[in-house]
Each structure stands twice: as structure tokens, then as C-alpha cells.
Chain A
Amino acid sequence: MATTVVTQPAGKEAYNTDELIEKYGFDDHFHEHHHGDKFQSNFITKYIFSQDHKMIAKQFLITGMFWALIGAGMSIIFRLQLGFPEESLAWLKPLLGKWIEVNPDTGVGTLSQDFYYALVTMHGTIIVFFVLTAGLSGTFSNLLIPLQVGARDMASPFMNMLSYWFFFLASVVMFLSLFVSTGPFAGGWTAYPPLSALPQASDGSGVGMDLWLVSLVFFVVSVALGGINYVTTVLNLRTKGMSLWRMPLTVWAFFITAIIALLSFPVLVSGFFLLMFDRMLGTSFYLNEIYIGGQALDHVGGSPILYQHLFWFLGHPEVYIIILPAMGLVSEVLSVHTRKPIFGYKAMVYSMLAIAFLSFIVWAHHMFMAGVNPFISNFFVVFTLIIAVPSAVKVFNWIATIYKGNVRYNSASLFAIGFVSLFISGGLTGIFLGNSTIDIPMHDTYFVVAHFHIVMGVAAFFGMFAGIYNWFPKMYGRFMNETLGKIHFWGTLIGAYAIFWPMHYLGIAGVPRRYYRFDNFDAFSYFPEMNQFITIAAIVVFFLQVLFVINFFYSIWYGEKVTERNPWKANTIEWTTPIHAGHGNWPGKLPTVQRWAYDYSKNGVDYVPQVVPLGEGEEDMGRH
């Protein structure tokens, strides 16, 4: 039987990882070429045009937080409209200007209907692409891939820098579109033609849509440059001993995410090219016979469904691009803070691979109502429902990891547990919507809104928060405030359910999404109190996120200092770097990896970092 000779040394710095790296590490002569940090001594190359993956991660995170506040703020404005359609919004006039129409006689301000659509469209675009794609996978892939696989930096630090700056450019263009006189694009975040293809279709379809397209093309370039780096770094720059089966689940998740992104985003670009031709050169890829003001346009024979196919070929994988990194972060955080190996490590990897594969053959479940052949729908229903299998495997494994664990209830682990709760709640409604027969009455109602907000909106945010609270000490050498973190967690968890749980009832009652107000419709006018409740909950949750942002920035400068390298007693090798690691991550040799990442509570030892060699006769959990 396996007997361990590895025992955990007593004392503050439980393992002397420096000694282990010196003894077993790999000397790549890094420091004969790079004395200190001299390339980054000036402000611009260190903080702005940085090529250090850790700084780029922070840039992605902070830009993402900026967008999250804007995107969430927009939702508060349209929730005010939905919850309190009779109330005057004149007090928003200084912020929104002409989009608030104030009645000169009564002084009552109403939100412009066009701008309501613009807000909904921008809320979706910003949160899906800028926050939950760039802000989540951009941040943590950059931070954790090189640190956890034992690399000095990404395969191409220069391309990595470009990846951020293309995202920045996309951000600037999208931000500018908020200020053009005709307003930003207002045809929904999916940008279906004809609203997106005909500049004269609506106010936002002109300049607003042009800027939207330009911004998203820059964004895809950013995703591609980042993704190429992530895949190459994982496959090519792992340190000695870091076999694929010894990689932490975070790295697996980022790796699979990057592959999905690289295969799906280019198809969106091809769809955009066709759209640009229709908009700017007058072709008819997407546009059929259309009459505007009684006049027939020149367009003949195009198919708006073609755009939907191309869009959702990205669009569905996109939701896994959002959720897989969150799943990876949650798996790692749960294992560390329950002091248990992740349950079913290989099952976790295989289920992520299965989800990634299935994500490419289910896109038309977004189009059940678009007139696709019902026999083809059957195919998509079956594969959509099969996704429940790997998802359930993952949920089972997370719960089994927590079960009988020695759980540390801190902000990071609470958010990870909250993620599991939300993923179950939101995932179950996915089984309803994945059936084309049930989707027919449910589509375009608040049931759909509730489903995707819980399962990929709030859940992905929870994964992101778990990651931020857990790796903040690695990023800034300080802790975030725990009390504020717990208030943030409990408020957000209860608040998120308070917002989205009632929406299921609205949806089952048939209340359609995207409507400006409901009191003109007899069928949907029964729920004013419920809409008020949702709006109040949304406002509370919004201010809790402001609290989080305050906690984040306060802690960067004034948080409790990290005094030991490995504050969570985690096994992964990012915690063997100095508290403030320079460019190149390890000051001396590169660590070599001796075991998998999840030797927690093994043979009575609390944790065994990956740099500790296997004891004699000790079982290697990460063998192939």
C-alpha cells in the first residue's frame, strides 16, 4: 500500500518552496539575460504598454469593471422604466440629455422609446462581450496560465499586449457610439438584419451600427490574439513535469475556452463581412424584398435567417466561452477552500471537452421560432438536452467536493458555492427551453431572460468574483476586506434570486421581453408590483456591486498586506512566486512540477504543493 514519506513541515512558511525550486528546478538562464526588471523601469512600459501577462490581466480586469458598471447602470435605467413607468425620470436629464423627454407643462420626464432599445442592446453587448468575455477570460487566462503552467510569460508577450490594446480600441469605439446624436445601435445585441443591415431602419441603425460593427471587429481581433497565445502557452510552454493531467482545472478551462473562441469568433466575422457588404455596398445577402414607406428597396432574394445561422454559430459557443472559465475558477477555489481534492478531476476535464464539442452543434436552438425546418429542430433539441449530461457531472462533482469538506467560508469560497447554486437553478430552466415544443410558447418572454441571466450572467459573475477574491493577494499583494466581501456575497446572492426568480412567473404568464411598457396590454398589465419589486432588488444589487468596486480599489492600496507567499495554502505553483513577482515570475530557476494540483488532505497531510517530489511509494494522482 501507498505509504507517504511526505510530511508537512511545521512553521509559518509551511514549505520552503524556494529551496525545493533551487534543488529540483530548471535553470533556463533567464537571469543571465534579464537583470532585475530594467526593461520596465519606466512608467509607460510598466503600467501602460506592458508586456507582462500579470499587468495585462489587471488591465483587462479594470477595463472590464468599468464596462460592468456602465452595463449594469444601463439595466438600472431601463428597470426604472419597467418598474415605475408612471414616475418622472426628469432627474436623469443631466446624465441622459435629450433621451429624457420632459413634458414642458407637467415637468414629467419620460425615457425615449428609441433609447430604451438602445439601452437594452448596449447592456447585452457590453456585458456579454466586454465584461464576461474580455473581463473574465481575458483577466484570468492572462493571470493564471503562465503562472500555473510554470512559464516566464505568454508565448508572445507582444501579441498579448496587442490583444489588450485591440480590446481597448473596441472599448473606445463602443463608448463613442453612446454619444452620437442618433444614439447607439438599438436593434438588440444579436444585431439581426434588417435592423442592422439597413441604415435607415431606425435611428441607431446608422452611425450607431457602424460603430458597433467596427468595435466588434476590433474585439474579435483581440480575442483571436489572446486565444492564440493561451493555446500556444498551454501546449508549448509548460514547465518540466507539468503533464496535461497535472494541470489545474483553471488552466484546462482557459485552454478549452480559447479553442472554442478561436473556432467560433471567425465565423461571426464572416457573418459581419456579409453584413457590411449589405450595409455599405448594397448587396442582398440578408435582405429580402423590403418596403419602407410604401417604396420597395432594391434588395431581393436575401435571407435574414442566414445571418442568424452565422451569428449563433458563434453565439452559442459564446455562452460556454463565458461559463467555462468561471467553472474552472470555481473548481480550483472549491478544492482549495474545502481542503479536498476536486472530486472526479478527469471527469471534470472530459465534461468540459464534451460541452465544448456539443456547443458547436446546438446553435439552431436559438432559432426554433425563426422558421427552421422542424425535423432539423429535432436534431438540435437532442444535442441541446445532451449538454445537460456533462453539466450535471460537473455539478455533482462540485457538490461531492464540498461534501464533508473542511470548508473555509470566506468570500472566495462563498462565491464559488453560490455559483453552483445559480448554475443549477439556471441550468434546469435550460431543459425547458431546449425543447422546441416548450420553447414555442416560452420564447421571447421573461422566462428566457430569467434563464440566461441566472445561468450565464449572474453565475459567470459569481465565478469571476470567486476568482478575484481568491487571486487578489497574488495580483496586488494584499487581501480584500472580508466583511465587505461577505456583505457583497449575501446581498448579491439573495438579490440576484429576487430579481430573476419572479421573472420566471412573468414569462410563464407570457409577458414578452423587450417591451417598453405593459400597461397598454390587457394580458400583461397584471404585474406592476412584481416589476417594482424586481426593479428595487436590481437597484440594491447594483449598489452592492459599487461596494465591491470600492472594496477592490481600497484594498489595492490599503488592504491587509499578504505576509506569506501562500496565504490559502494552495498547491498550484503561482503561490511559489514572490509576493510581488516581477516580469518572468520566478526570480531564479523555473519550478518543476512533481505531482498533480489536488493533493489536499492526502494521507493526513493538509496540502502538498506541486513542487514537492513524490514520496517513496506514494501514489501519483496525475499519471496518465
Chain B
Amino acid sequence: MNVTALPEQYESPRRNKIHPLKFALWVGCASLAMMFGGFTSAYVVRQAAGNWLEFQMPSIFLVSTATIILSSITLQLSYYHFRRQNTKPYRMLLVATFVLGVLFLALQYMGWLELTARGVELRRNPAGDFVYLISGVHAAHVLGGLAVLAVALIHAFRLKKFTPRRKLRLELTLTYWHFVDLLWVYLVVFYWLQNR
């Protein structure tokens, strides 16, 4: 037993139904969303100032968008089977999510290569630099998501019992993964609205 687990191990008199760590994650997501809000605001301000390169986004980014949405669906289904203790589909869907997450990053990388190949290389113009920067910082957050998914995978294949603690961990992973997914969808929609 260690002291990290302090708030989980005693019955708390808390008034709200949501677990404190889940709530903490939501607060953290709101904070991260502000950072991307900062990026996109900077984008709007800079775009309005002129000297702005117009270019077509690589279509690979649409494939990557579909990939990360799909990964959210597989993770949600995996959680569905976890709750019903269907070990096999739970494990397989979790693996699928992880693979789709890695695929997303690979697709993003290909997107950057294609962007460079089209002459929108880094340092050419802030319009392109913003795309590299924002998608790059987003990719770093997906990488963090893959790390927690890896932990979830280890749990899925090593742990036998379906404990409430394990459920909480999976739910936290689920929330974060949906968050980075939604974040990317927001960025794509934002880009489309700004450049249509």
C-alpha cells in the first residue's frame, strides 16, 4: 500500500458523484484547450495582418482525421466490453486503438512531408509554420495518449481481476483519448473555416 492511493482508499464524504481524479482530468483538459485556443487565436490575428501564403492542405490529414475518430470508437467499444468483462474483445479493441493511434502519428508525419514537398516548407511563411507547430504540439499530446494506452494494454494482458481501480484507470485513459481526438477535429474544422 502506498500513500499515493490515499484518496481512493477511504470512503470520501464528497458530495459530487464524479471521482476527484476524473474531475481533475477534465480541469486539465480545459487548461490544455486554452493552450490550443491561444494557438488558433494567434493564427487568426496573424492571418489578418497579411503576407499570408494560401495553400491546399494535404489530403492525408483527412485520412488521419478519420483514423483518430475511428480509434476513439474502438476505445469506447473496448470500454463497453471491459464493463461486461468480455476479456477477448476488450483486449483486441484496445490493441486496435493503439495501432490506430500509431497510424495517426505516421499519417501526420506523411502529411508534413507532403506539405514540404509542395513547397510549404518550414520558415517559408507563417501560414505553413502554424500548421507544423499546431499539428506538432497536438502530436506530442497524442504521444502522451499512446503512453497511457500502453499502460492500459499492459493492464489488459497482465491483470486478472476487474477491480474498480482498474475501471477508473481505463475511464481516465478513455477521457483523455477522446479529448485529443476532439482537439484534432476542432483544429481541422478551425482550419477549414479560416481558409474556405
Contacts and interface: CB of A to CB of B under 8 A. Distances in A.
Given A224-B31, A270-B36, A232 B23 contact: yes
A266 B37 CA distance: 9
A267 B37 contact: yes
A152 B24 contact: no
Interface stretch (A12-20, A68-76, A274-282): A274-282
Given A157-B6, A285-B126, A590 B46 contact: no
Interface in A477-523: none
Interface string B10-38: 11111110101101100110111011111
B4 A157 contact: yes
Contacts of B35: 266-267, 269-270
Contacts of B30: 262-263
Interface in B119-145: 122-123, 125-126, 129-130, 133, 137
A153 interface: yes
A281 B126 CA distance: 12
Contacts of A267: 34-35, 37-38, 41
A153 B7 contact: yes
A551 interface: no
A137 interface: no
Contact of A266 (B10, B20, B38, B126): B38
Contacts of B46: 285, 303, 306
A283 interface: yes
Nearest to A161: B4
Given A51-B3, A262-B27, A300-B51, A28 B129 contact: no
A595 interface: no
A152 B16 CA distance: 16
A150 to B, nearest CB: 8
A26 interface: yes
B133 A273 contact: yes
B123 A284 contact: yes
A469 B186 CA distance: 49
A80 B177 CA distance: 55
B2 interface: yes
Interface in B152-192: none
B9 interface: yes
B20 to A, nearest CB: 4
A623 interface: no
A387 B121 CA distance: 46
A23 interface: no
Interface in A236-281: 236-240, 262-271, 273-274, 277, 281
Nearest to B128: A283
A303 B49 contact: yes
A233 interface: yes
B13 A28 contact: yes
Interface in A152-211: 152-159
A39 interface: yes
A39 B38 CA distance: 42
A230 to B, nearest CB: 9
B150 interface: no
B28 A224 contact: yes
Interface of B is mostly: helix
Contacts of A303: 45-46, 49
A271 B35 CA distance: 9
Contacts of A411: none
A240 B137 CA distance: 42
A266 B21 CA distance: 20
B3 A583 contact: yes
A156 B20 contact: yes
Contacts of B21: 155-156, 232
B39 interface: yes
Contacts of A263: 30-31, 34
Contact of A157 (B3, B11, B14, B34): B3
Given A155-B24, A233-B20, A301 B126 contact: yes
Nearest to B36: A270
Given A28-B11, A301-B51, A274 B42 contact: yes
A298 B31 contact: no
Contacts of A281: 122-123
Nearest to A243: B15
B18 A39 contact: no
A152 B14 CA distance: 11
A264 B30 CA distance: 11
Contacts of A154: 7
B3 A39 contact: yes
A48 to B, nearest CB: 14
Quick one: which of B28, B31, B32, B49 has the most chain A CB within 10 A? B31
A448 B45 CA distance: 28
B27 A228 contact: yes
Given A228-B24, A236-B18, A283-B126, A274 B31 contact: no
A578 to B, nearest CB: 18
A313 interface: yes
A404 interface: no
Contacts of B27: 227-228, 231-232, 262
B193 to A, nearest CB: 19
B6 A238 contact: no
24 contacts: A29-B11, A33-B1, A51-B6, A154-B7, A155-B21, A155-B23, A155-B24, A228-B31, A232-B23, A236-B18, A263-B31, A263-B34, A266-B34, A268-B38, A269-B35, A283-B129, A284-B126, A285-B46, A285-B126, A303-B45, A303-B46, A303-B49, A310-B41, A583-B3
Interface of A: 26, 28-30, 33-34, 39-40, 45, 51, 150, 152-159, 224, 227-229, 231-233, 235-240, 262-271, 273-274, 277, 281-285, 298, 300-303, 306, 309-310, 313, 583-584, 590, 592
Given A39-B3, A157-B7, 13 more contacts: A51-B6, A157-B4, A227-B31, A228-B27, A228-B31, A266-B32, A273-B39, A277-B129, A283-B126, A283-B129, A300-B51, A302-B126, A310-B38
List 8 tightest A-B contacts by C-beta distance, closest first: A270-B38, A266-B35, A267-B38, A155-B20, A301-B51, A39-B3, A266-B34, A232-B24
